[in-house]
Structure 1
Amino acid sequence: MSKKTSYLIGILLTIIIGTILCWWLCCNCCNAESCDHKKGDEKTVVEAPNVMEATLNPFFIMDGDYAFKSNDNFHFKDSSFRVLEPVSEELKNVVLDLQAYFDANPSKRIATIGYYTSGEKNNSAYPNLGLARANAVKNYFVSQGISSKIIDTKGELKDSMIADENKVFFGPVHYELFAVSEDDKVNEEVLKAACEALKANPLVLYFNTGQAQINLTRSQREKIANISRCVDKLGVKVLVVGHTDNTGNAANNVMLGQQRADFAKSYLIQNGILGTNIETTSKGPNEPIADNASEEGKAKNRRTVVTINETKT
């Protein structure tokens, strides 16, 4: 083998060995960003989503030696104030025990506090969704024989609550037992005054011609909450009266007024006021509060008035 041939073979071997070492040790002899094998070895790290565990609030009430508890509770969908059915048998039995407790302890009362979060939409007629949920639970208690007169309802914001993946809140309700005190007598007098105020300044709902829609202001929601308390605590009836302007046939207007009153009644029932406590009637165009000669006057006459009746249950 000639010297020239040996020289060429040496150069070739040097190139081959250098290429192998560069590929194998590319971090030292290659740009790491451009090494194909390096890219192939890189593993993509995907972080697991931060899934928060749903809040679980069991039914629990303690009063001295008495304890009422269940692993279950009343559940609600996000932005809803209707109790999810079915109610478990365990919870039903606990509520029946609670009813027997009140029969044996007539001086005892219960506060039902409904929770809600700021991210939920309030579709109820009440000032907040928590109060609407408390009223829904109250109605279940009433259906099991517990008097509404011994149930206080409240709403409370609680943003720490977390719904599950199906947007269900598990037990957004808290309960407290307490005994009748002098403060309760004062509160009853305050409530009586609020009920009397409703007679002088009732809830008035306005409608467009031929329509029966309800859009509530904050003040109107407060009045509905007071109406509900008056019915529960004082045993009074709700009176709903439909009114119209003088457009069209008088007989038809009386029917339209009744439809509006019935619609308002249905709305109140949906929001937890029992239908047996609501009376409806229509005055049609017969009791205007403004001049029907103007559109502004007609708009004021198209109304439904919700107030407290003297009749007690």
Structure 2
Amino acid sequence: MTRTTTNLLLMLITIVAGTFFYITLCSECGGGTTVEPEPPKEVVAPEIPEATSYPFALNDGEYSYNANDNYNFNISSSTILMPLSENVQNGIGGLKSFLDANLGKVLNITGFYKSDETNSSAFPNLGLARANAVKNHLASNGIAAAQMNTMGKLMDDMVPKDDIYLGPVSYSLDDKAENADEELNALYEKIKADPLVLYFNSAQASINLDAEQRQKVADISRYLDKRADASVNVIGHTDNTGKASTNMRLGLDRANFAKAYLMKNGISEAKINASTKGQTQPIESNATKEGQAKNRRTVVTLN
């Protein structure tokens, strides 16, 4: 056998032996089998809740109306989004005719709000502010304010659509309370005995009310709605720093600032009388900084 033939034979034996041992030794580690890749895990998108929507609906037995549209509001806002739908406008017209013919009836307007909304209005909650905005719009369409009551209701299950709450307002009709006049008289005495007092400088660009002050604004607004001849006095006061004539003007500036704030929150300009007492009616001594701060005030009460 030649050397070349011998070398070729040895190479062939090596290849065969290597293949044999590879198959034998690696059979346990899955040699010769195909490993299937794990299927990709299904990605489940979070479920987006459907936006809530409340209708412009009334059913008193004597009067009924139902429209899928309603007054709409942005999140954390009590400003009505315009324009209103034709269905809502038609409902307003029919409601006015019914209330004009039934003076013993009142319309209850309940505004909804969520606990995570920011309330920048002068009312105790954003729901009441929204109800008040609707009431003012209805009044501008000829419905007597004296025939409307406003309320707020927490509705944390509301879901917006593109940052807009669709119709967060409900309505009901009721008979006028037999003791309505007595309740109004009691409300008047309450406001007169404990008026709304604002402490701020005329350079301030905003008024921040606490819960008690917000309730006082709501009470004043309610009384003004119920009594057509009622009005509110907004009187500016100062400490005795500077000239008396300058303080008279400064007091009026503060009164007008508060007047503009009340108007922004839905109280009619015609029902607000702004005036000044300057430094002439201090309630504390002007000898201390604390006393001066108390004297720099604006008092809001009924006429």
Tell me the TM-score normalised to structure 2 length. Answer: 0.89
CA distance in 2, matches of 1:54, 1:23: 57
Shift of the alpha carbon at 1:276? 1.2
Shift of the alpha carbon at 1:295? 0.8
Which of 182, 187, 197 is matched with 1:189 structurally?
Answer: 182
1:54 correspondence with 2:12: no
Higher helix share: 1
Matches within 5 A, 1:266-281: 266-281=260-275
Tell me the TM-score normalised to structure 1 length. Answer: 0.87
Which of 224, 248, 251 is matched with 2:245 structurally?
Answer: 251
CA contact (8 A) 2:259 2:272 kept: yes
SS in 2 for 1:118: coil
CA distance in 1, matches of 2:201, 2:271: 27
CA distance in 2, matches of 1:212, 1:260: 11
CA contact (8 A) 2:255 2:276 kept: yes
Deviations 1:1-23 (A, max 9, x none): 87744432323444489699637
CA distance in 2, matches of 1:95, 1:161: 24
1:138 correspondence with 2:135: yes
Out of 137-146 and 105-114, give the one that drifted further.
105-114
Which of 217, 223, 226 is matched with 2:219 structurally?
Answer: 226
Deviations 1:78-123 (A, max 9, x none): 1111111111222112101110111122222110000111111111
Give the structure 1 partner of residue 293 of structure 2: 299
Shift of the alpha carbon at 1:216? 1.0
1:74 correspondence with 2:52: no
Out of 206-215 and 143-152, give the one that drifted further.
206-215
Q: In structure 2, what residue type is equivalent to 1:171?
A: G
Shift of the alpha carbon at 1:44? 4.8
Which of 2, 7, 13 is matched with 2:13 structurally?
Answer: 7
Unaligned runs of 5+ in 1: 28-37
Shift of the alpha carbon at 1:42? 4.5
Shift of the alpha carbon at 1:291? 1.2
1:264 correspondence with 2:270: no
CA contact (8 A) 1:212 1:260 kept: no
Which of 267, 273, 289 is matched with 2:283 structurally?
Answer: 289
Q: In structure 1, what residue type is equivalent to 2:168?
A: P
Residues 135, 45 of structure 1: CA spacing in aligned structure 2 closer, same or farther, 3 A cutoff?
same
CA contact (8 A) 1:210 1:256 kept: no
CA contact (8 A) 2:23 2:31 kept: no
CA distance in 1, matches of 2:91, 2:23: 84
Residues 8, 273 of structure 1: CA spacing in aligned structure 2 closer, same or farther, 3 A cutoff?
same
SS in 2 for 1:195: helix
Out of 202-211 and 95-104, give the one that drifted further.
202-211
Shift of the alpha carbon at 1:211? 4.0
1:238 correspondence with 2:232: yes
Give the structure 2 partner of residue 34 of structure 1: none
Residues 88, 55 of structure 1: CA spacing in aligned structure 2 closer, same or farther, 3 A cutoff?
same
CA distance in 2, matches of 1:63, 1:200: 38
Deviations 1:48-90 (A, max 9, x none): 1221111011111112152212221001111111111111222
Whose radius of gyration is greater, 1 or 2? 2
Give the structure 1 partner of residue 199 of structure 2: 206
1:116 correspondence with 2:113: yes
1:97 correspondence with 2:90: no
Residues 271, 210 of structure 1: CA spacing in aligned structure 2 closer, same or farther, 3 A cutoff?
closer
Shift of the alpha carbon at 1:244? 0.7
SS in 1 for 2:252: helix
Out of 17-26 and 238-247, give the one that drifted further.
17-26
Residues 139, 107 of structure 1: CA spacing in aligned structure 2 closer, same or farther, 3 A cutoff?
same
SS in 2 for 1:241: strand
Count residues with an aligned counterpart.
293
CA contact (8 A) 2:201 2:254 kept: no
Deviations 1:109-145 (A, max 9, x none): 1100001111111111111111111100000110110
CA distance in 1, matches of 2:163, 2:111: 17
Residues 211, 245 of structure 1: CA spacing in aligned structure 2 closer, same or farther, 3 A cutoff?
farther
Deviations 1:237-275 (A, max 9, x none): 011001111111222211111111111111111111111
Let me know the Cα RMSD of the aligned residues: 2.3
Q: In structure 2, what residue type is equivalent to 1:293?
A: A
